[in-house]
Homo-oligomer: A and B are copies of this chain.
Amino acid sequence: MAGPEDFENHCWKDIVTPEILTTYEAYVRNTFVGTRPALLAIDLYNLVYKGGANPPHEITPDFPNTCGVYAHEAIEPTRKLFTACRAARIPIFYVTARFSPSRVQSTRRADMPLVEEDFEIHQAFTPQSGDVVFRKERASAFFGTPLVAHLNQRDVNSLIVCGESTSGCVRASVLEAYSYGFHISIVEECVFDRSELSHKVNLFDMHHKYADVMKLDEVCAHLASVTGKATKVA
């Protein structure tokens, strides 16, 4: 949980002007993790780590889908988040892209040759028994998948979100989750993008409109506080 005094204490501080903060004052509130959460891990597939921990613009000609250094910087925080979620025994859902010649495209990016392994989950976050993995063709984790049915059947009422890209599949999934009526907590250190500008502005937008952007430490502390307690999951 974070109080109103920390509501704007996030990565967008250096680009959002005081005038904008004034305009958005009515959105300031407490942030929190929901009571019956699941982890939603978005597009943590091999393709976005390609080319190593380099700035995307330096490697994008060879690795056009990479998030480069931003992807690699998020590995350790995301590991910690997974560990905390597994300890709290909350349901874990992954989405990744469907690899198929017939798939519709999730964005208007020009085509490039891909292989099946590109869309497998990165080995740092390998799904375990009991986790659920969906394949999607569009940006949102909900569009063209039965995610909403699984969430309802497991009595989930809120999501903890990590993955990429902040301005693409994360934003689309958070928007649709909010539309469906779920509370959403986005873990700041565990989402990333190929553009820092889009990353920051999309986090700002989502934080004010649809979700609670929270620090990894806050989320882990909360999960630790409920671990061991009866987390009823129907």
Bound complex: CA of A20 vs CA of B112, how far in Å? 19
A210 to B143, CA, bound (A): 15
Tell me if B146 and A138 are in contact (CB < 8 A). Answer: yes
Contact of A181 among B136, B148, B171 (CB under 8 A): B148
- A69-86: which residues lie under 8 A (CB-CB) from chain B? none
A50 contacts the other chain (CB 8 A): no
CA distance A210 to B20 in the complex (A): 26
* Contacting residues, chain B, for A37 (C-beta < 8 A): none
**How many protomers of this protein does the assembly include?**
4
Task: Determine the chain B residues whose CB is within 8 A of the CB of A205 once the complex forms.
Answer: 167-168, 171, 198, 202
Known: A23-B57, A107-B209, A175-B140. A180 touches B195 (CB 8 A): no
Interface string of A176-212 (1 = CB under 8 A from B): 1011111000000000001101100110110011110
* Cβ B57 vs Cβ A19 within 8 A: yes
